[in-house]
């Protein structure tokens, strides 16, 4: 862990906008109710004891914007009251300044009471009369507790930097941090499972803790689908439901493409055809190497792991090139200087090709290279895929164990 270890995929629309305003614990405020042309009142009253005679602003969080909807002033004891027109259930901030705010999930007809005794509004507040806002309060409590643990561990880390035994202390602090992160993540996942039909779950599913998304589209696909199904059943016309539905639709498209790619790139399948120009502009088809074992790999000059792997790859090539092995390298660079410079600096003696389109290359889609490099495919003399890996060491072991080579 470094000193940034304890600080604090697409996040859509106003969620991204709101992220710039909020510190770690509170992020995307989203809402829940059927869209309607009707307008209803929400009454909000409360007491901010540390903010007497102070302006209080109510802001609506829309898909791509934050709109000031009302303002009022606390009295000499911090009491306030406001009536607000609400067209659709939604999420709001009640704010005294840029840093101090409380998130609310409001619906027409609610009479809401908010109380916060201290300067730090989100650290300790109570709310009544708004079930959605009560759920947000639960999430805010977890976020605040994690922030406190994170801050404490950061201070301990900074104090220990120059002590004897720092590495052991760092390992201990790492373990404490990730244990707290796992507890926080598990709490949020359970919250979503219990409340999939509440749009407060959209806040939960998009939360971050430091640099970590608590719910990941790849690992927590079922949660994203669960929320989408429940919200589309209950609130199909709500704009935030629709926004999440579009996100899930994109996820389903990617899953379908991944399934197709898994079939296309399965062991025993013929390697999809590739024909790209080498550094001189001459088209070199992958099929020109048929009859040999081929190590097909994808890399880029800007990718550090690719460059490090070239050391091992040159050893592999030197050992096996006389035993019917060839290498066919496909660069996902975009700039010829970077690509050709890397070939020259790393001393690559095998076939290297590129269309210099980066990840926009049709080849990247064909081999389902989403964003991670390098990627390796071992092809037999008939051009069929024998193995694939992201680690050159695994490919090396496979080559050593192939009796044909």
Q: Residues 212-242: pLDDT tens digits?
A: 999 999 899 999 999 999 999 988 988 999 9
Give residue 63's pLDDT.
86
Q: Residues 119-150: pLDDT tens digits?
A: 999 888 999 999 999 999 999 999 989 999 99
Look at domain 275-400 and name its CATH class. Answer: alpha beta
Give residue 28's pLDDT.
35
Output the pTM of the full model. Answer: 0.71
Give residue 404's pLDDT.
58
3-state secondary structure of 97: coil
Helices (H) and strands (E) in the chain, counts: 10, 17
Give residue 108's pLDDT.
86
Q: What is the DSSP string of 206-275?
A: T-EETTEESS-TTT-HHHHHHHHHHHHHH-TT-HHHHHHHHHHHHHHHHHHHHHHHHHHTSTTSBPPP-E
Q: Residues 326-375: pLDDT tens digits?
A: 999 999 999 999 999 999 999 999 999 999 999 999 999 999 997 789 99
Q: In the chain, where are the structural domains located? A: 13-245, 275-400
Q: Quote the tokens at residue 293.
A: 């074992």
Q: What is the DSSP string of 320-360?
A: HGGGTEEEEEEE--S-HHHHHHHHHHHT--SEEE--S-GGG
Give residue 119's pLDDT.
93
> In Å, how far from its chain's centre is CA 385?
31
Give residue 39's pLDDT.
60
| Cα distance between residue 88 and residue 86, in whole Å | 6
State which residues of the chain have pLDDT below 70: 1-39, 403-405
Give residue 152's pLDDT.
95
Q: Quote the tokens at residue 64.
A: 């791509």
Give residue 256's pLDDT.
92
Give residue 38's pLDDT.
52
- Phi then psi dihedrals of residue 143, to 5 deg: -65, -45
């Amino acid at each position: 862990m470094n000193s940034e270890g304890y600080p604090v995929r697409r996040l859509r629309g106003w969620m991204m906008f709101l992220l710039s305003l909020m510190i770690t614990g509170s992020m995307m405020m989203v809402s829940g109710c059927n869209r309607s042309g009707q307008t209803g009142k929400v009454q909000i009253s409360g007491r901010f004891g540390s903010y007497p005679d102070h302006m209080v602003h109510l802001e609506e969080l829309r898909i791509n914007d934050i709109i000031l909807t009302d303002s009022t002033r606390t009295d000499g004891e911090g009491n306030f009251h406001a009536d607000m027109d609400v067209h659709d259930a939604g999420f709001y901030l009640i704010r005294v300044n840029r840093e101090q705010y409380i998130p609310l999930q409001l619906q027409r007809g609610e009479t809401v009471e908010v109380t916060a005794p201290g300067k730090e509004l989100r650290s300790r507040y109570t709310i009544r009369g708004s079930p959605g806002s009560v759920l947000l309060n639960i999430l805010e409590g977890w976020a605040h507790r994690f922030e406190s643990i994170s801050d404490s561990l950061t201070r301990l880390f900074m104090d220990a930097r120059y002590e004897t035994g720092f590495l052991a202390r760092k390992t201990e602090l790492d373990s404490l941090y990730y244990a707290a992160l796992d507890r926080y993540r598990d709490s949020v996942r359970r919250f979503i499972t219990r409340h999939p039909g509440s749009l407060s779950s959209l806040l939960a599913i998009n939360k971050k803790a430091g640099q970590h998304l608590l719910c990941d589209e790849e690992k927590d696909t079922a949660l994203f689908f669960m929320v989408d199904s429940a919200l589309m059943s209950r609130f199909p016309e709500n704009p935030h439901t629709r926004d999440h539905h579009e996100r899930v639709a994109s996820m389903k498209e990617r899953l379908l493409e991944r399934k197709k790619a898994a079939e296309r790139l399965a062991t025993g399948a013929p390697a999809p055809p590739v024909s790209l120009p080498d550094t001189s502009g001459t088209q070199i088809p992958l099929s020109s190497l048929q009859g040999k074992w081929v190590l097909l790999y994808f890399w880029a000059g800007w990718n550090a792991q690719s460059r490090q792997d070239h050391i091992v790859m040159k050893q592999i090539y030197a050992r096996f090139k006389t035993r019917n092995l060839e290498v066919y390298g496909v660069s996902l660079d975009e700039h010829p200087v970077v690509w050709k410079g890397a070939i020259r600096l790393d001393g690559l003696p095998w076939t290297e090709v590129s269309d210099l389109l980066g990840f926009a290359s049709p080849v990247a889609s064909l081999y389902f290279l989403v964003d991670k490099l390098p990627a390796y495919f071992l092809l037999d003399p008939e051009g069929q895929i024998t193995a694939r890996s992201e680690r050159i060491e695994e490919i090396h072991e496979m080559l050593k164990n192939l009796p044909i080579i």
